[in-house]
Amino acid sequence: MRVFSLVAVIFYALSALNFGLARSGGSARWMRVGLTALVVGVAFHGIDLVVGSLRAGNLPVGNFPEALSFLAWLTALAGLVLIARFRFAVVGAFTASAAFVALGIAAMLMRRGKLVLPAALRSGWLPIHVTLAFLGYSLFLLAAGVSALYLVYESRLKGKHPFPVGGPPTPSLERLDFINYRLLGWGFLMLSLAIVSGSIWADATWGHFWSWEPQESWSLVTWLLYAALLESRLTVGWRGRRAAALTLVVFTVLLGSFVGVSLFHPGKHGGSFD
């Protein structure tokens, strides 16, 4: 593990721990420490990605561990924006934990040596396409986390179980539902742009917009599922508990396809190139 990614893993773990202490009824100081640790973790993780980019000559996403590391960084960064935008510190524990687990797994799977990308992937389209796709995945991940919080909070309210005193303010169910909707909308936009940019890149490189390889096919399936989820909210009026549950179900499909395809049949979208 490179030293910067090691430091990032440590600070992500500290952030998750402190956010958890704040959520369990600790003082607001734990929340501030957790937020600071998350910022430091994102900074060191970003430095590690810059170093990897300089070594690879492009965005370091040539195999599954590198892609997972980049996804973890985008998730942590998006989580910080979510906390700042909506004053939504309660999501910090989920964000930091997800980044810690993802980067930890990536670090354990990472191999030594320089990864050389094929000529077809050494393109200016690579950072555009991958960043849009992974940013969409990150927003969907956060939407799943918010949905899980919604279900937990609703269950506690129905069971008349009080929340611990002294932790960060508990958002209302209506606010959680609204934030979930916004995350789904922006994630869907990013995924749509990623598919469009990937199609343009594929046509310029291989002479066709679409080849129906596993990653492309599952991206289309995921896009259709999230489109149906958003459509159900707009037309059928599925909100609240039902929307939260469906968000988790669709994200499970996304997670399974991302891990499965990346590890077992990456095709033109990754693999061991060195």
Tens-place pLDDT, residues 194-238? 999 988 887 877 777 777 777 788 888 999 999 999 998 888 777
- pTM of the entire structure? 0.87
Helices (H), the chain: 3-23, 28-56, 64-86, 92-109, 125-158, 173-206, 214-231, 240-264
Q: How far is CA 41 from CA 38, 81, 140, in A?
A: 5, 14, 21
Q: pLDDT digit string (tens) for 21-47?
A: 877 766 678 888 889 999 999 999 999
CA 39 to chain centre: 16
